[in-house]
Structure 1
Amino acid sequence: MSLPEIDTPLPRVLIVDDSRIVRATLIKRIRDRYDFREEANGEAGWQALVLDHSIHLLITDISMPVLDGYGLLKRIRESKLARLRDLPVLMLSGDEDENALEHAKALGATDFIGKGVGGAELLARIDSLVRLSQAQHLLKENRALQVQEEETGLFTRKYIELQAAQALSLAMRHDSRLSVMVVAFDRVASLLEEQGEDMVRQLELRFIRMLAGKTRKEDSLGRYAGSQFALVSPGTPYPACESFANRLREAIEVANITAHGQRLNLSISVGVANSPVDTVTSAGALLELAGARLKAAQQSGGNRVIACQARSEADLVVPKLAHAIDLIKAGHEQAVIPHLDTLGEQITPLLRLLERERNFCWPPAGGKP
């Protein structure tokens, strides 16, 4: 017994032309290989495109009542719907005016043919554009299913959101914690302009490797948006996450990274959010809160961490002695000066011990008091 054949729906083409004869001629030529829909003006064509998700290609006339082909094409390319912005559009005209061709191209037409084109050429053009539409659709589906980026190994935004949702659900059931942080280099636009895309990509890859090397197996590291990265850390209280974020910030601040023989003045900012400290009801809201805090940190000058309890300038974290020394060596003395009193108190016992055991005298001979 043979299995019943499964009918595969034909790709659908929308034909928009105010001439019934033109529409009938086109339909006669394509009906054996394509499903079709027809409309008599650009406005009706636009409504059809918005409502009918099965359309793979638009064939439209230029001169039409209500809304002409140029206006229809402009709406499509400016649409908020990605499926419409990417839709192949074949412009059809009764003349071969060069200006009309250039205008159609400028508005984003995919192809342009005259109404007198032969049936074989018309089908060849349509076949090519429909295959393009199907390939774009397949690519988007594959990207939606993708878990990790090929180049960086980072988890995708969708996967990070899924991991955060699962971690938050588990934390709520077991009265535990979930911390997330969103981190990015400061002044990325300036870096791109000064150093170029390749250098910024290399910097990001180095930072990703460093960050990945410092995370636990249960943590999830992924891309949040653009050049922003997100870390989902189950079971981590926010002070520990904030401390980790500050260690990252300090490491980048003193890193000796050069380009074209010049040291790059790099810094990062981080936004930290935590459940249950931050009273949010979803993982998406928790990530958005961390992202908003990152934005606030960058708008405040960058090179800072904003966590669940924002700090005033007077409450900024005092750097550890080793980090303070690294800052001075890296030429960032201004970052140390506000904390000199506290750092001086910390180092005083060491100076006294040096004075007693090594006859160390402060200031050294010849130095200024």
Structure 2
Amino acid sequence: MTEPTSLLPRILIVDDSRIVRATIIKHIRDRFDVREEADGEAGWEALLVDPTIQLVISDMSMPRLDGYGLLERVRNSGIARIRETPVIMISGDEDEESRQRAKDLGASDFIAKGIGTAELLARLGTLVALVRTHEALEETRAQVAIDPATGVLTRIALLRQTEQALSFAQRHGGEVSAVLIGFDRIDELAAAEGGPVAEMLVAQFSRLLAGTVRREDLLGRWTERELAIASPGITEVQARAFAERLRLAVARADIRHQGRPLTATLSIGVASSPADTAAGAEALMTVAEARMVKARGEGGDRVAGGGDRGAAAFAGEGIDQALARVALGEGAMLRPHLARLGLRLLPLLRLIDDEFHFGLPLADLEKRLSRHAKTV
């Protein structure tokens, strides 16, 4: 009894000879589901639209796009599924140089046009088994990377991906901020309402947060009842402003369980690289975690960051960061830099004045700001 066609491994045969295609199909049709195309271009289009193809058998010489061109496209594809597909090249009268060229382009194996059934099935079976093993490993890895209760990254996956973000930022002179989020008095809530209620609160908050952060942000479960975010390209000031909005949203939220109101507040710690000189992802998260614990120890419902570094640390900040500090009530830290910030705003003020004809005294303002900037 043969296996249903829909469950058979699918193979794409690309050859301009109908006879060659028919011969190969005759050998393998009881063990494989076959799709056939007559040239490399058609074969490439089939790979793009058919994700069930697990292996390709291709001739070297074909019209439109030959086997070398098809193989090169496969190995250079931006789609991992295609890029990792095994490709077996059909060799006929080609010389050793042609075979070496195919090897260099990434051919997985070679078969002769007169190959026997047993050998062909053995070759194909080995490669398909490797594909399935790889797919199973990838699926397992993906499952392990996601926390089943919250749907966000596990701690290990979060640290691994944050490490990659830090490496990229260090190479390109960028920043990565870490935000550690914990519910205040959640153990008391669990004791009063039951552990499942606390778990439900963390899970629902995780889903809410997942829909709030940017696509490039990394959101994970740090401990059983704490979450962490790594934000590439975000300064600590910007991260603190986001954390403050988050804290306020939770503090003002009408959270209920079985009709009864639940009081929920957050303690949030923020750290940033390179400002906090943390060596690696775990070190950066640990700094943010320590600040979260500090915020909780001071009564909770607050955000703690590295604001004790002094005003001099903020000399290089731009307008966005300055506005974020004002929103956080830290405008006093900006006083030594107001003249510089004012000069950076002048092009925008000129554009506004040109548009609305306010007649702003911009020349005098620039002169005064320049004078103050020199004295600071």
TM-score (norm 2): 0.47
Which structure has the highest helix share of the two? 2
